[in-house]
Structure 1
Amino acid sequence: MRPTGRLHLGHYHGVLKNWLTLQHEYECFFFVADWHALTTHYDEPELVNEYALDMVIDWLAAGINPGQSTLFVQSRVPEHAELHLLLSMMTPLSWLERVPSYKDQQESLKERDLATYGFLGYPLLQSADILAYRAGQVPVGADQEAHIEITREVARRFNHIYGREPNFEKKAEQGIAKMGRKQGNLYKKLRKSYLETGDLDALETARALLQEQQNITLGDQERLLGYLEGTGRVILPEPNALLTPVAKMPGLDGQKMSKSLNNTIALRDETDVIADKIRRMPTDPARIRRTDPGEPDRCPVWNFHQVYSDKRTREWVCEGCTTAGIGCLECKAPVIDAVEAEVAPIRLRANELAANPDEVSNIIAEGCEKAGDEAAETLRDVRDAMGLGWR
């Protein structure tokens, strides 16, 4: 996540609630994308530094558990930059120019100078972020699938160019021998079935078999995956997009909640601030007077009821609004209570963490060390494949 300001309910419902679920299901890496923030805010370095710490505090306060996930800062794991550089040597320029968000962001951020090498190359840096950890799944919205697809293409191209190491078949056979006679024979049988008849069930079974092996190294496992599929060694596995639920948290004006639109409720907003923001929300323009009936679908407050209110409350709102039985302030009262109930424990925990920055710094330092160890393993294989393993 790019550090561009304190987090708000849009971040919580659109990203963090999904992360809270994923951290119990996968080995997760969550990082502060401070280099990515510089692609559009390179002239505001002081804000990037300030927002980075604030963002980690908000993650922790929302329930991200450093005991279950790895939290780190991108710029403190230099392997990201090295992998980005190495991948740039073999990535066609046209691949970067065709990424949909490249032209879209140039159009939407006209006030900023985005004619930079860093902005053009940010999709490849994202690919490096993913491939450094050989990630199997990347949680993204549908509008970000193009970034995962270019990452898959980069990995595929890398493996095609560099995966054919000397004596590849001989080393693959040596890896099979390490599996033991029974498991090795099963692997050979499944490989033959897939390569000769295209049996996809055999392919999946063989992949699962390799994942279970304890007697082979990670390098052997990747080599045998490539041997299985009739290609070279899979040095950089192709990740899959793990589509996240569509965010349903609108802004105070009915548009997408965004800091740039000044329509947010921050996760650390105080009780009176939350109440004031919601009371000031625009409503159905047809309700000029208290006695005028309204239409909930035309009112931004109704969007909040869709997120926070139960069926009974929503029925009460519909009945009261369309018959002028309730006023707009009455309609907003349950929303104020529900938002405050959600934000209060997050705000309390965030304030505690903000008062103890050393605790947060230690969590980040431990996460950076773990992430660095993981990325270093990938870089060793990448350097070897590209003829740089001599150093």
Structure 2
Amino acid sequence: MTDQRMLTGDRPTGKLHLGHYVGSIANRVQLQHKYETFLIIADLHMLTTKNTREDIAKVSTNARDMVLDSLAAGIEPTRATFYLQSAIPEVSELNTLFQNLVTVPRLERVPSLKDMARDSGKEEMPYGLLGYPVLQAADILCVKAHVVPVGKDNHAHVEVTREIARRFNHLYGETFPVPELVESEVPTLVGTDGQGKMSKSVGNVIYLSDSSEDVRKRVAGMYTDPNRVRADVPGTVEGNPVFAYHDAFNDNPAEVADLKERYRAGKVGDVEVKDKLAAAINRFLDPVRERRARYEEQSGLVDEIIVEGTERTRREVQQVVFEVRKAMGLTAAYNQLRRKAERARKSRERTTP
């Protein structure tokens, strides 16, 4: 492992699923051996679209599930620091300071923000959502991360962070590394209903924590080729969600090739294709389930990992905020006022009878 740092994470909105694994977790499992890894539980970011009392009340449970899912998927607690974003108030201070280094028109050009507002049913853009990339910059720079692994849809967010880091360094002196994007050229995993990507809110998911029977039921209900009404009708493999999952999770490529050939020729039914997919996904999830069971047996372990990681991260962030305030001159400004106030107080004490 180098002395370079990586930051990434998720919003605590529920359990992780196969889409998360394909889109980000598999990459994190590999990168944790190359970088000092910080994994943020981004509950302040969650507030931009989910901010009811009921949403907030679920944060601790969802945070445990997220961490447990990550550990089960292969993240090692000795190599990664998990932390709860809202428990580090200094991040909000950095967010405030960074807000002045980026313009509203620049943020309005971030394409994913409008998509996020639309997907969450917002008719107008909340101020917090417009500033999402600025808070994200505070997250990344608060631990002086050197790299940020992201998918294509988040490139624009991290570019704002890079601009803020360069702007700060130009104005106040070299303080932050300008983080690099680590490309995550992974495909988006289509949902089990074939309608867009896998999403908890839609319910078209297979969770990392699903039992083998849950997997079989979800796979049995998967969308396939709608034009194929019988097993002897030649079917389409391209764009077929069942085969997309075979490609992603089946560890037997010869079996996949055989199924594709027979499917195209109308010589295999959907039931067999799905049965073999369920078996393949369960083979993939078996070691995940074993690790999950091992971590679950240790009562309170996940809570300890989150709390210890948060406390460690906060110490790091406090030092960074001190450096930022010093670089900007904010520390000097208050110290001047404090020294003059102290001299005035002592002067009054000497002249008071």
Coarse TM-score class (shorter-chain normalised): 0.7 to 0.9
Deviations 1:95-134 (A, max 9, x none): 222222222322333x236543222211100000011111
- Aligned residue in 2 for 1:241: 181
Please state if 1:152 is matched with 2:190: no
Out of 203, 206, 219, which is 1:262 matched to? Answer: 203
For the residue of structure 1 that corresponds to 2:231, the secondary structure is: coil
Q: How does 1:86-165 map to 2 (within 5 A)?
A: 86-109=97-120, 111-112=121-122, 115-163=125-173
CA–CA distance in 2 between the matches of 1:236 and 1:267?
A: 36
Q: 1:96 to 1:314 in 2, by over 3 A?
A: same
Q: 1:336 to 1:32 in 2, by over 3 A?
A: same
- Aligned residue in 1 for 2:247: 306
Q: Which runs of 5+ in 1 are unaligned?
A: 164-233
CA–CA distance in 1 between the matches of 2:72 and 2:328?
A: 43
**Code of the aligned partner of 2:113:** Y
**Code of the aligned partner of 1:37:** M
Please state if 1:25 is matched with 2:34: yes
CA–CA distance in 1 between the matches of 2:177 and 2:260?
A: 51
Out of 236, 251, 271, which is 2:212 matched to? Answer: 271
Q: CA deviation at 1:156?
A: 1.7
**Code of the aligned partner of 2:33:** H
Q: CA deviation at 1:278?
A: 0.7
**Identity %, equivalent residues:** 41
Q: 1:248 to 1:94 in 2, by over 3 A?
A: closer
Please state if 1:66 is matched with 2:77: yes
**Code of the aligned partner of 1:137:** V
Q: Contact 1:96 / 1:120 at 8 angstroms: preserved in 2? A: yes
Q: Contact 2:151 / 2:184 at 8 angstroms: preserved in 1? A: yes
TM value normalised by structure 1: 0.77
Could you list the runs of 4 or more consecutive aligned residues of structure 1 that deviate by over 6 angstroms after TM superposition? none
CA–CA distance in 1 between the matches of 2:256 and 2:108?
A: 47
Q: Contact 1:141 / 1:243 at 8 angstroms: preserved in 2? A: yes
Question: Which is further off, 136-145 or 352-361?
Answer: 352-361
**Code of the aligned partner of 1:280:** G
Q: 1:115 to 1:355 in 2, by over 3 A?
A: farther
**Code of the aligned partner of 2:186:** V
Q: CA deviation at 1:258?
A: 1.2
Q: CA deviation at 1:147?
A: 1.2
CA–CA distance in 1 between the matches of 2:172 and 2:257?
A: 62
Q: How does 1:140-289 map to 2 (within 5 A)?
A: 140-163=150-173, 234-247=174-187, 249-254=189-194, 255-289=196-230
CA–CA distance in 2 between the matches of 1:142 and 1:42?
A: 27
For the residue of structure 2 that corresponds to 1:50, the secondary structure is: helix
Q: Contact 2:246 / 2:280 at 8 angstroms: preserved in 1? A: no
CA–CA distance in 1 between the matches of 2:299 and 2:49?
A: 27
- Aligned residue in 1 for 2:21: 12
Q: 1:319 to 1:157 in 2, by over 3 A?
A: closer
Please state if 1:318 is matched with 2:257: no
**Code of the aligned partner of 2:270:** C
CA–CA distance in 2 between the matches of 1:295 and 1:87?
A: 51
Question: Which is further off, 121-130 or 307-316?
Answer: 307-316
CA–CA distance in 1 between the matches of 2:48 and 2:299?
A: 27
CA–CA distance in 1 between the matches of 2:230 and 2:210?
A: 31
Q: CA deviation at 1:277?
A: 1.0
Q: 1:16 to 1:369 in 2, by over 3 A?
A: same
Q: CA deviation at 1:342?
A: 1.4
For the residue of structure 1 that corresponds to 2:116, the secondary structure is: helix
For the residue of structure 1 that corresponds to 2:238, the secondary structure is: helix
TM value normalised by structure 2: 0.85
Q: 1:90 to 1:301 in 2, by over 3 A?
A: closer
Q: CA deviation at 1:92?
A: 2.5
For the residue of structure 2 that corresponds to 1:296, the secondary structure is: coil
**Code of the aligned partner of 1:250:** V
For the residue of structure 2 that corresponds to 1:30, the secondary structure is: strand
CA–CA distance in 2 between the matches of 1:299 and 1:90?
A: 46
| Residues matched between the structures, number | 320
Q: Contact 2:73 / 2:288 at 8 angstroms: preserved in 1? A: yes
